[in-house]
Amino acid sequence: MVDLLAERFAVVEEVVKVKQANGIPALLPDRVEEVVAQVEALAAEKGLPPGIAGALWRTLIAETIAYENARL
């Protein structure tokens, strides 16, 4: 999991650059809800509790947004 997080945050560094260049805020509430809904649907397909997957993803998103905000 740590390796996957490291990969994700390498991508986040690139996202920050794009957001800076285009004046896009770190938090896009509609996008958050879209992503969480997709994750919960995928979890359900795989037999996992959607609420747990959604909660974990919301935590990951919140930490990512905080990380982005510190750099924007």
- Note down the domain range covering 57: 2-71
Kindly indicate the confidence band of residue 43, based on its pLDDT and cuts at 50, 70 and 90: very high
* CATH code, 13: 1.20.59.10
Q: What is the largest CA-CA distance in the chain?
A: 40
Kindly indicate the confidence band of residue 55, based on its pLDDT and cuts at 50, 70 and 90: very high
Which DSSP state fits 47?
A: T
Total structural domains in the chain? 1
> pTM above 0.85?
yes
Q: How far apart are CA 38 and CA 58, in angstroms?
A: 12
